[in-house]
Structure 1
Amino acid sequence: MSDTAAQQRDDDSEEPIDRDDSAETGTTDPERTDDGTDTGTVSTGAESVVAALEAAGVETAFGVQGGAIMPVYDALYDSSVRHITMAHEQGAAHAADAYGVVTGEPGLCLATSGPGATNLVTGIADADMDSDAMLALTGQVPTEFVGNDAFQETDTVGVTRPITKHNYFAGEADSVGDVVGEAFELARVGRPGPTLVDLPKDVTLDETTESPGPAKAPAGTDPDPNADPAAVTEAARAIENAERPLCLFGGGVIKAEASDAARTFARTYEIPVTTTMPGIGTFPEDDDLSLSWAGMHGTGYANMAITHTDCLIAVGTRFDDRLTGGIDTFAPEAEVVHVDIDPAEISKNVYADYPLIGDAGAVLDQLTAAVRTAPDVDEWREQCADWKETYPMTYATPEDEPLKPQFVVEAFDEATDDDTIVTTGVGQHQMWASQFWTYTDPRTWVSSHGLGTMGYGVPAAIGARVAADAMGDPERDVICFDGDGSFLMTMQELSVAVREELNLTIAVLNNEYIGMVRQWQDAFFEGRHMASEYNWMPEFDKLAEAFGALGIRVDGYDDVAPAVEEALAYDGPAVIDFHVDPEEDVLPMVPSGGANGRFALSEDQL
Structure 2
Amino acid sequence: MSERATPVKPTEEQEREQSRETERPSDGGADAAGPGPNADGATATEPVTTGAEAVVRALENAGVEYAFGVQGGAIMPVYDALFDSEIYHVTMAHEQGAAHAADAYGVVAGDPGVCLATSGPGATNLVTGIADADMDSDPVLALTGQVPTAFVGNDAFQETDTTGVTTPITKDNTFSSDPDRVGSDVSEAFALAREGRPGPTLVDLPKDVTNAVTDREPDEPRVPDTYHVQEEADPEIVEAAARRIEEAKKPAMLLGGGVIKGNASDVCREFAIEHEIPVITTMPGIGSFSEDHELSLEMAGMHGTGYANMAITHCDTLIAIGTRFDDRLTGGIETFAPDAEVIHVDIDPAEISKNIHADYPLVGDAATVVEQLREAVETSPKAKKWRAQCQQWKSDYSMAYEVPEDEPVQPQFVVEALDEATSDRAVVTTGVGQHQMWACQYWTFTEPRTWVSSHGLGTMGYGLPAAIGARLAADDDQEVVCIDGDGSFLMTIQELSVAVREDLDITVAVLNNEYIGMVRQWQDAFFEGRHSASDYHWMPEFDKLAEAFGAKGFRIDDYDEVADTIEAALAYDGPSVIDVHIDPQANVYPMVPSGGDNGQFALTEDQL
TM range (shorter): over 0.9
Partner in structure 1 of residue 493 of structure 2: 491
Taking the aligned partners of 2:112 and 2:48, their CA distance within structure 1 comes to 29
Taking the aligned partners of 2:405 and 2:449, their CA distance within structure 1 comes to 37
Distance 1:27 1:136, change over 3 A: farther
Taking the aligned partners of 2:47 and 2:321, their CA distance within structure 1 comes to 49
Residue 399 of structure 1 deviates from its aligned partner by 1.9
Partner in structure 2 of residue 187 of structure 1: 193
Residue 315 of structure 1 deviates from its aligned partner by 0.1
Partner in structure 2 of residue 73 of structure 1: 79
Partner in structure 1 of residue 273 of structure 2: 267
- Structure 2 counterparts to residues 101-140 of structure 1, below 5 A: 101-140=107-146
Equivalent pair of 1:26/1:43 in contact (CA under 8 Å) = no
Residue 67 of structure 1 deviates from its aligned partner by 0.4
Partner in structure 2 of residue 33 of structure 1: none
What letter matches 2:595 in structure 1?
A: G
The question of 1:376 aligning with 2:382 is answered: yes
Partner in structure 2 of residue 4 of structure 1: none
Residue 558 of structure 1 deviates from its aligned partner by 0.3
The question of 1:302 aligning with 2:326 is answered: no
Partner in structure 1 of residue 521 of structure 2: 519
Partner in structure 1 of residue 477 of structure 2: 475
Equivalent pair of 1:27/1:42 in contact (CA under 8 Å) = no
Residue 222 of structure 1 deviates from its aligned partner by 3.8
Partner in structure 1 of residue 509 of structure 2: 507
**Other structure's SS at 1:313 match:** strand
Which residue, out of 58, 62, 84, partners 2:90? 84
Equivalent pair of 1:28/1:41 in contact (CA under 8 Å) = no
What letter matches 1:515 in structure 2?
A: G
**Residues 34-67 of structure 1: CA distance to partner in whole angstroms, max 9, x if unpaired?**
xxxxxx9460000000000000111110000000
Taking the aligned partners of 1:221 and 1:76, their CA distance within structure 2 comes to 30
Partner in structure 2 of residue 575 of structure 1: 577
Partner in structure 1 of residue 55 of structure 2: 49
Partner in structure 2 of residue 228 of structure 1: 234
**Other structure's SS at 1:292 match:** strand
**Other structure's SS at 1:431 match:** helix
Partner in structure 1 of residue 564 of structure 2: 562
Which residue, out of 384, 391, 401, partners 1:385? 391
**Residues 388-421 of structure 1: CA distance to partner in whole angstroms, max 9, x if unpaired?**
0000111111122110000000000001100000
Taking the aligned partners of 2:42 and 2:494, their CA distance within structure 1 comes to 39
Taking the aligned partners of 1:446 and 1:356, their CA distance within structure 2 comes to 27
Partner in structure 2 of residue 552 of structure 1: 554
**Residues 527-573 of structure 1: CA distance to partner in whole angstroms, max 9, x if unpaired?**
00000000000000000000000001110100000110000100000
Taking the aligned partners of 1:224 and 1:514, their CA distance within structure 2 comes to 43
- Structure 2 counterparts to residues 95-244 of structure 1, below 5 A: 95-244=101-250
Taking the aligned partners of 1:224 and 1:26, their CA distance within structure 2 comes to 49
Partner in structure 2 of residue 61 of structure 1: 67
What letter matches 2:87 in structure 1?
A: V
**Other structure's SS at 2:56 match:** helix
What letter matches 2:148 in structure 1?
A: P
What letter matches 1:386 in structure 2?
A: Q
Taking the aligned partners of 1:368 and 1:517, their CA distance within structure 2 comes to 44
Residue-pair matches, total: 568
**Other structure's SS at 1:559 match:** helix
Equivalent pair of 2:100/2:466 in contact (CA under 8 Å) = yes
Equivalent pair of 1:245/1:272 in contact (CA under 8 Å) = yes
Runs ≥4 in structure 1, deviation > 6 angstroms?
A: 25-29
**Other structure's SS at 1:439 match:** coil
Taking the aligned partners of 1:170 and 1:324, their CA distance within structure 2 comes to 41
Taking the aligned partners of 2:543 and 2:378, their CA distance within structure 1 comes to 59
Per mean C-alpha deviation after superposition, the further-off stretch among 216-225 and 447-456 is 216-225
What letter matches 1:537 in structure 2?
A: M
Partner in structure 2 of residue 592 of structure 1: 594
Equivalent pair of 1:257/1:361 in contact (CA under 8 Å) = yes
Residue 213 of structure 1 deviates from its aligned partner by 1.7
**Residues 445-466 of structure 1: CA distance to partner in whole angstroms, max 9, x if unpaired?**
0000000000000000000001
Equivalent pair of 1:28/1:42 in contact (CA under 8 Å) = no
**Residues 427-450 of structure 1: CA distance to partner in whole angstroms, max 9, x if unpaired?**
000000010000000000000000
Equivalent pair of 2:48/2:54 in contact (CA under 8 Å) = no
Residue 224 of structure 1 deviates from its aligned partner by 2.3
**Residues 466-508 of structure 1: CA distance to partner in whole angstroms, max 9, x if unpaired?**
111xxxx223100000000000000000000000000000000
**Other structure's SS at 2:181 match:** helix
Residue 267 of structure 1 deviates from its aligned partner by 0.8
Partner in structure 2 of residue 335 of structure 1: 341
Q: Gaps spanning 5+ residues in structure 2: where? A: 1-38
- Structure 2 counterparts to residues 10-49 of structure 1, below 5 A: 41=47, 43-49=49-55
**Other structure's SS at 1:83 match:** strand
Equivalent pair of 1:26/1:44 in contact (CA under 8 Å) = no
What letter matches 1:188 in structure 2?
A: R
The question of 1:424 aligning with 2:430 is answered: yes
Larger Rg: 1
**Other structure's SS at 1:43 match:** coil
Taking the aligned partners of 1:42 and 1:212, their CA distance within structure 2 comes to 9
Equivalent pair of 1:513/1:535 in contact (CA under 8 Å) = yes
Partner in structure 2 of residue 437 of structure 1: 443
**Other structure's SS at 1:297 match:** coil
Taking the aligned partners of 2:236 and 2:293, their CA distance within structure 1 comes to 32
Residue 344 of structure 1 deviates from its aligned partner by 0.3
Equivalent pair of 1:26/1:47 in contact (CA under 8 Å) = no
**Residues 166-189 of structure 1: CA distance to partner in whole angstroms, max 9, x if unpaired?**
100001110000000000000011
**Other structure's SS at 1:480 match:** strand
Q: Gaps spanning 5+ residues in structure 1: where? A: 1-24, 30-39
Aligned-pair identity in percent equals: 72
The question of 1:351 aligning with 2:338 is answered: no
Equivalent pair of 2:141/2:190 in contact (CA under 8 Å) = yes
Query: What TM-score, normalized by structure 1, do the two folds share?
Result: 0.93
Taking the aligned partners of 2:48 and 2:349, their CA distance within structure 1 comes to 45
Partner in structure 2 of residue 539 of structure 1: 541
Taking the aligned partners of 1:526 and 1:69, their CA distance within structure 2 comes to 50
The question of 1:410 aligning with 2:412 is answered: no
Equivalent pair of 2:48/2:217 in contact (CA under 8 Å) = no
What letter matches 1:588 in structure 2?
A: P
Residue 80 of structure 1 deviates from its aligned partner by 1.2
Taking the aligned partners of 1:255 and 1:188, their CA distance within structure 2 comes to 9
What letter matches 1:527 in structure 2?
A: G
Residue 26 of structure 1 deviates from its aligned partner by 10
Taking the aligned partners of 2:408 and 2:93, their CA distance within structure 1 comes to 34
Taking the aligned partners of 2:583 and 2:596, their CA distance within structure 1 comes to 27
**Other structure's SS at 2:423 match:** coil
**Other structure's SS at 1:503 match:** coil
Partner in structure 1 of residue 255 of structure 2: 249
Partner in structure 2 of residue 452 of structure 1: 458
What letter matches 1:169 in structure 2?
A: F
